[in-house]
Amino acid sequence: MIHLAKNQTKLMIAVHGWSGILLGLLLYAVVITGMAAVFADEIGAWSAGHVETRSAFERPFGTALRALGERTSPKYHDGVDLFEVGDHDLGVFFHRHETDAGGTLISRGMFYELGKDGRVIHTQAGTNEDVYGARNDNALSSFLVDTHVRLHVPNPWGLLLTGILGLGMLVAAISGLLIHRHLFKDIFTLRRKAKPVLLNRDRHSVAGTWSLPFAFILAFTGSFFSFYGTVGMPIVAMAAFGGDMQAMTEEVFGNPGKPDPRPTAIGNIDRITSDAIRRAGTPPTFVTIEHFGRVDAKVTTYHAPPGGDIAPVSLLYNGATARFEQTKPLIGKAPSAGGTLVAIMSPLHFGNFAGLLSKAIWFGLGFAMCYVTFTGLRLWLVRREEAMRSLDWLDRTVTVVGLGLPFALVCAAAAFLIAMPLGTAVTCTTGGFLIASAAVIVAGVVWPTAAGLGHAVQRATGIAMLLLPPLRLLTGGPGWAAAIMAEQPIIVALDIALLVAGGAMIWRGRRLQAPR
């Protein structure tokens, strides 16, 4: 398609191949957990047996909020974050912004969880890391998201690592486009009876071509998310604000209006939420209160985008009078090109702008990208099979990571289901993942052939998937009738998906092994 000189094509092939083989295994881990994380909310509801469908913001909580305000130290009244936790319970985080020892902006304060009857069921002092981190009932979805966002490496190194992997994917997508001379002529060609090199090349380039625009978008938005907080904002703040991160945050995220620190009771928050639901058409996903207990208090409600849009909506209210002020852009005090661009980064990356339909598409595209990464690694190996016999270790490593990761993730889900009723899900989910990974690594070392190893791991994954729905029921999860009665069909849908996927993997494994 794009005709480069021969030496330039050779260089691009080298760039594509080496970036792929050096970063490919880690990138595969990021992409596969990202694919699963598209459905993090649904996986959370399925795994913890959540059957409540009414949003916490559709219940009155104003009285409870005022009571919490009175019992919380005024030093934590700078901001209050309100969000759903557990089975549509309400989390309330009173906090103030400060800089930690390492210079990172954090929030520190008191967190409360309010049950459906408005009573406080959990209290915790800490920072945003503690409050938004893994809990017993969301340990599985939290594990998936954390692996994807930072590969469980502590901040900022984990974010920098995934950012670099995102740039690697960007380079692979662009160099892949530059290498492929007949992009559209080859787009429907998948040879099945061909030499291994051609077979793998077709698989890799067909999947890669069809998913290319999305690979580009996901790599670009993903590296933005990894770099903007760790590197981007501090550097831009240094250049434009002399290093004052708080001033830059205020400029970018702050609300219009003059400060007025005179104390006054917080307005009727229930009136605000019902008005917000009416205006936006959906309950808020997140609510923030700035300057709680002051005349200049502001309440911002964040909602999923209305039909047709992709950027989330945020509504601004006067916190003291509970009156609606304006529809606020996500970033900046007025609508702007820059604000819109930042606002669409999330929906483009997460695919959550149109409910299950957009999530399903993004899940499929994520699967395509896993396939592209995996077949790319295979292609690199197959190209060198004749030249170097000693690459068996790398072949096995690709199988262990490529096929072992899905197996370990399914085992993590099983460990979660067993541990959640016991209250030890946070450690046991990770533990289950690590034990399964160790088992696959050992198999990778001892199995007689690399091909046989692949079949065995696929079969094991299929069996594990088939066992998840009965395990979920055995450990106290709601049955299908209960889930449908509670209007939570996602539990049934995920059970069916696991049974179908598990069955398909076992059937495919048997077909591959059948004598020809």
Partner 1 sequence: MSGTAHKWMRIAFAGPGAVIVAVVVMAGMSLWLPRGAAGIDNLVLPLVLVPLIWAGLFFHACLDAKLWRVAVVATGLLLVHGGLVAQRFLERKPVVAEARP
Partner 2 sequence: MSLLIIATVALSGGLLLLLALGDPKRRRTAAVKSGAQGTAVRRLLVGASLLPGAAWIASGDAAAFLIWFGGCAMAGWLVTLVLARGWLDARQGAKDAS
How near is the Cβ of 219 to partner 1 at its closest, in Å? Answer: 8
Of the pair 183, 463, the CB lying nearest partner 2 is at 183
Cα gap 175→10, rounded to integer Å: 11
Question: Distance of CA 290 to CAs 92, 185, 294, Å?
Answer: 13, 57, 9
| Residue (of 103, 212, 104, 230) closest to 163 by Cα position | 230
Q: Which amino acid is at 85?
A: V
How near is the Cβ of 394 to partner 2 at its closest, in Å? Answer: 27
Residue from the set 122, 271, 333, 383 that interacts with partner 1 by CB under 8 A = 333
| 250 phi/psi in degrees, rounded to 5 | -65, -40
Q: How many CB atoms lie within 10 A of CB 389?
A: 8
For 12, the token pair is: 């691009």
Cα gap 420→43, rounded to integer Å: 14
Stated as kind and residue range, the H or E segment containing 313 is strand 313-318
Residues that bind partner 2 (CB under 8 A): 185-192, 206-207, 210-211, 213-214, 305, 307-310, 348, 351, 353-354, 357-358, 361-362, 364-365, 368
E strands, 118-171, are 120-127
When asked if residue 12 is in the footprint of partner 1 (CB under 8 A), the reply is yes
Tokens 């030496």 appear where? 7
> Could you give the 3-state DSSP secondary structure of residue 9?
helix
From the list partner 1, partner 2, none, partner contacted by residue 369 (C-beta under 5 to 8 A by kind): none
Q: Which stretch binds partner 1 (CB under 8 A): 232-240, 402-410, 433-441, 499-507?
A: 232-240
How near is the Cβ of 253 to partner 2 at its closest, in Å? Answer: 24
Of the pair 134, 167, the CB lying nearest partner 1 is at 167
| 391 phi/psi in degrees, rounded to 5 | -90, 10
From the list partner 1, partner 2, none, partner contacted by residue 12 (C-beta under 5 to 8 A by kind): partner 1
When asked if residue 345 is in the footprint of partner 1 (CB under 8 A), the reply is yes
Cα gap 320→299, rounded to integer Å: 9
Residue from the set 233, 467, 486, 492 that interacts with partner 1 by CB under 8 A = 233
How near is the Cβ of 254 to partner 2 at its closest, in Å? Answer: 27
Q: Which stretch binds partner 1 (CB under 8 A): 45-53, 81-89, 244-252, 460-468?
A: 244-252
How near is the Cβ of 324 to partner 1 at its closest, in Å? Answer: 20
Say how many residues touch partner 1, by CB under 8 A.
44
Q: Which amino acid is at 378?
A: R
Is the CB of residue 252 less than 8 Å from the CB of residue 331?
A: yes
How near is the Cβ of 313 to partner 1 at its closest, in Å? Answer: 17
Of the pair 86, 166, the CB lying nearest partner 1 is at 166
Q: Which stretch binds partner 1 (CB under 8 A): 34-42, 148-156, 329-337, 374-382?
A: 329-337
| 295 phi/psi in degrees, rounded to 5 | -65, -35
Q: Which stretch binds partner 1 (CB under 8 A): 183-191, 225-233, 274-282, 463-471?
A: 225-233
Residue from the set 170, 207, 320, 403 that interacts with partner 1 by CB under 8 A = 170
| 179 phi/psi in degrees, rounded to 5 | -75, -40
From the list partner 1, partner 2, none, partner contacted by residue 167 (C-beta under 5 to 8 A by kind): partner 1
367 Cβ contact list (under 8 Å, min separation 6):
35
Q: Which amino acid is at 51?
A: V
How near is the Cβ of 447 to partner 1 at its closest, in Å? Answer: 38
Residue from the set 240, 482, 496, 504 that interacts with partner 1 by CB under 8 A = 240
For 218, the token pair is: 């996901």
Question: Distance of CA 298 to CAs 28, 70, 99, 266, 386, Å?
Answer: 43, 18, 23, 10, 68
Cα gap 481→18, rounded to integer Å: 52
Of the pair 74, 335, the CB lying nearest partner 1 is at 335
Residue from the set 49, 156, 208, 339 that interacts with partner 1 by CB under 8 A = 339
Residues in contact with partner 1 by CB under 8 A are 4-5, 8, 11-12, 15, 166-167, 170-171, 174-175, 178, 219-220, 223-224, 227-228, 231-233, 235-236, 238-240, 242, 248, 251-252, 329, 331-339, 341-342, 345
